[in-house]
A and B are shown apart, each in its own frame.
Chain A
Amino acid sequence: MSDTETDELSIRTRNLSLWYGNFQALYDVSVDIKPNIITSLIGPSGCGKTTLLRCFNRINERYGNVTTKGEVQILGENIYTEAVALAELRKSVGMVFQRPNPLPISIEKNILFGVRSHSRRSDLPASRREELIESALTEVSLWNELKDNLKRKATTLTLEQQQKLCIARLLPLKPDIILMDEPCSALDADGIERIEELISDLKDRYTIVIVTHNMAQARRASDECIYMYLGEIKEHAPTMELFMNPKNEQTAMYIEGRYG
């Protein structure tokens, strides 16, 4: 692979292994994730999808017992070095969690939380703040619903609105990559459909990596698909190819077992 190609990748890992204490959860993961597409991460429960995703913004490290070996490059830069500023990394790599987790403060404060952590007060005059709030909420199509209730506590919203808000609050930070860990698992069918629509709207502007246990969702909503099993990547291919014509026997068994 030539250097220019490497630079164009959003995420590139080489021989990434991870241990929780003595338990090894990732084995030599080497994967290339392309920009501005949706990549889905599938595999049986406990295979390390969440763990891998949480390596990309180094949030795994908050548990004291985690050891990581190997390399992760985000936009061409190795993030597992001393020199990396975690705040900057997390600004460009946003994360959406399995359970919607808006902070127990108002809607507008949730949206501004990220930028406020990264800038001085004087850089955010009221006009700028309003602009950010409106554009973030518009981008997740919540603006019309919520524009009159911006002071409402975010935890009182419906789960679907909460999850959209959790996406919206990443946007003022202008992330390059958005990581999503089973973002629909707490939602009902309608909610799932609308969040999926939203995700596919976002892919022009952001690189999206989404973990899902829902085969149909991976198939509908992603461009490329990665199948993981017991901490290893077994197959990585364009989604249609992986589902129609899996190269790996285990991939085939998994998608048939779940889907057939």
Chain B
Amino acid sequence: MATKKTSLRGLGAKFLDGAEPLIRALIYASGWSSIVFVAAIFFFIFREAWPILPRVNWGEFFFTNDWVPVPAEGNKASYGAMSMMYGTISVTIVSMVIAVPLGLGAAVYISEFATGKVKESFKVLIELLAAIPSIVWGFIGLVVLNPIIQDVFGVAVGVNLLNGSIVVAFMAVPMIVSISEDALRAVPDTYREAALALGASKWQIVYKVLFPAAKNGLLAACMLGVGRAVGETMAVLMATGNGMVIPENFANPAILLDKVRTLTATIVSELPDSVHGGDHYRMLFVIGIVLLVFSVVINVTSDIIVKGVKGDQKNA
């Protein structure tokens, strides 16, 4: 028995020896490929947008609200994208206001309070949620949330900012939960014991020990949630009402019941109808660039936040 094992291990080692250059090459290739893909994405989006970049009226693009790519006879096309940026930003903010507390709460419950079967069932449920395709969430927005919002708020149309944000929140929650739960689980148990032995209650342990100790991971989870919200397309297209409006008064909560249209929704709904190589087509790629910039900014900020937090912890 023992000799068998040794010889097997020997064989395995020999196999690995021979295959090592190959395996190394594969690992390198997969590492580099991600860089290549990102570069390719930038390249193709810029290539499509390039010819129009010198002619874009940036003031109009960022600060006006008239998106008329196909004007009536004799009129000039206009490309004011402010309402779409408002759409993307508002869906992101509202969905995170919903998803972050929900996701963190669920993660805390699963990692610190639930035990045994309950814990397992919750984890499975979260995984199931994560596996639901975007388009199905869109249907849920249309078919389930739409009438509920109509009833509750007494509005004629229930696809709006609120609906889209709820849908995106539900899509972001599983990711926030699973990353936050990992972060909480990584907190050494000795900290919990130390705090418990000092007479702290479970809640005190959560917010005075676990949150500070898991800060980095929790922040990362939330930032990934934000990324998800910015990039989400099909579901928001279906659930937000796809209307280009900018509210007059941002303090009025009724804006939750207005239609919005996000940057992503604009691209996906207009690209098929635009003339390949035409101005409209190229402007949609300019929107793509804006989205790319958004996501780079989010990633860099989250990096800075996470690093800043790390620095704090060293000095604190």
- A→B interface (CB under 8 Å): 57, 59, 62, 64, 86-91, 94-95, 97, 99, 101-106, 113-114, 116-118, 151-153, 156, 166, 169-170, 173
A169 to B200, CA, bound (A): 13
User: Can you give 7 A-B contacts (C-beta < 8 A)?
Assistant: A59-B193, A101-B190, A104-B191, A116-B208, A117-B198, A117-B208, A156-B314
- Give the docked Cα–Cα distance between A169 and B195 (Å): 11
Contact with A along B178-205 (1 / 0, CB 8 A): 0000000000101111111111110010
Q: State the Cβ distance, A232 to closest chain B Cβ, in Å.
A: 26
Chain B residues within 8 Å of A95, by CB:
197
Within 258-309 of B, Cβ neighbours of A (below 8 Å) are at none
B residues less than 8 Å from A59 (CB atoms): 193, 196-197
Bound CA–CA A120/B297 (angstroms): 41
Which residues on the A side are within 8 Å of B213 (C-beta)? 103-104
Known contacts A88-B199, A103-B209, A117-B204; A153/B315 CB under 8 A: yes
B: contact size bracket: 20 to 34
- CB of A50, distance to nearest CB on chain B (Å): 12
Q: In chain B between 82 and 97, which residues have their CB closer than 8 angstroms to a CB of chain A?
A: none
Tell whether A91 pairs with B199 under 8 Å between CB atoms, given A104-B212, A104-B213.
Answer: yes
Beta-carbon contact of B314 and A94 below 8 Å: no
* CB of B313 within 8 Å of the partner chain: yes
A127 and B151 CA atoms in complex are apart in Å by 57
A174 shortest CB reach to chain B, Å:
12
Closest to B190 in A: A101
* Chain A contacts for B196, CB-based, 8 A: 59, 62, 90
Minimal beta-carbon separation of A11 from chain B (angstroms):
16
Cβ–Cβ contact A90 & B190, under 8 A: no
Contact A99 B190 (CB under 8 A): yes
Known A-B contacts A64-B116, A117-B200, A117-B201; the reply to A103 vs B316 at CB < 8 A is no
CA of A144 to CA of B244, assembled, Å: 66
B115 within 8 A of A: yes
Which residues of chain B from 103 to 149 have a CB within 8 Å of any chain A CB? 115-116
Contacts of A90 in B (CB 8 A): 196-199
In the assembled complex, how far is the CB of residue B112 from the closest CB belonging to chain A, in whole angstroms?
11
A94 to B196: give the CA distance in the assembly, Å: 10
Please measure, in the bound complex, the distance between the C-alpha atom of A118 and the C-alpha atom of B191, giving whole angstroms: 18
| Further 19 A-B residue pairs, CB within 8 A, beyond A89-B199, A152-B316 | A59-B196, A86-B199, A87-B201, A90-B199, A97-B190, A97-B193, A97-B194, A97-B197, A103-B209, A104-B212, A113-B198, A113-B200, A116-B208, A117-B199, A117-B204, A117-B208, A166-B194, A170-B198, A173-B198
The residue in chain A whose Cβ has the minimal distance to the Cβ of B187 is A104
Residue pair A104, B208 in contact (C-beta under 8 Å): no
Give the complex CA separation of A170 and B193 in angstroms: 14
Given the complex of chains A and B, what is the CA–CA distance between A143 and B197 in angstroms?
24
Whether B193 and A62, one on each chain, are in contact in the complex, defined by CB atoms closer than 8 angstroms, is yes
In the assembled complex, which residues on chain A have CB atoms less than 8 Å from the CB atom of B197? 57, 59, 90, 94-95, 97
**Given A105-B316, A106-B316, A153-B315, also A114-B190 (CB < 8 A):** no
Task: Find out whether the CB atom of B212 lies under 8 angstroms from the CB atom of A173.
Answer: no
A212–B213 Cα distance when bound, in Å, is: 31
Contacts of B315 in A (CB 8 A): 151-153
A118 to B208, CA, bound (A): 13
B316: chain A residues at CB < 8 Å are 105-106, 151-153
- Beyond A59-B193, A64-B116, A97-B193, is A105–B212 a contact (Cβ under 8 Å)? yes
Partner of B314, one of A64, A86, A87, A153: A153
- Name the 10 nearest CB pairs between A and B, nearest first: A90-B199, A114-B198, A101-B190, A87-B199, A95-B197, A117-B200, A101-B194, A91-B199, A153-B316, A104-B213
Given contacts A153-B313, A153-B316, contact A114 B193 (CB under 8 A): no
- How long is the Cα–Cα vector from A114 to B315 in the complex, in angstroms? 22
Interface residues of B in 203-224 (CB under 8 A from A): 204, 208-209, 212-213
Residue numbers in A under 8 Å from B212 (CB-CB): 104-105
In the assembled complex, the Cα of A119 lies from the Cα of B117 at a distance in Å of 36
A113 (CB) vs chain B CBs: closest residue: B198
Contacts of B116 in A (CB 8 A): 64
Closest to B205 in A: A117
B193 cross-chain contacts in A, Cβ below 8 A: 59, 62, 97, 101
Q: A84 → chain B, closest Cβ, in Å?
A: 12
Residue among B188, B197, B204 facing the most chain A CB atoms (10 A cut-off) = B197
Q: In whole Å, how far is B244's beta carbon from the nearest beta carbon of chain A? A: 48
Complex contacts, B188 vs chain A, CB 8 Å: 101
Complex CA–CA separation, A12 to B188 (angstroms): 33
Chain A CB within 10 Å, residue with most, of B193, B198, B200, B208 = B198
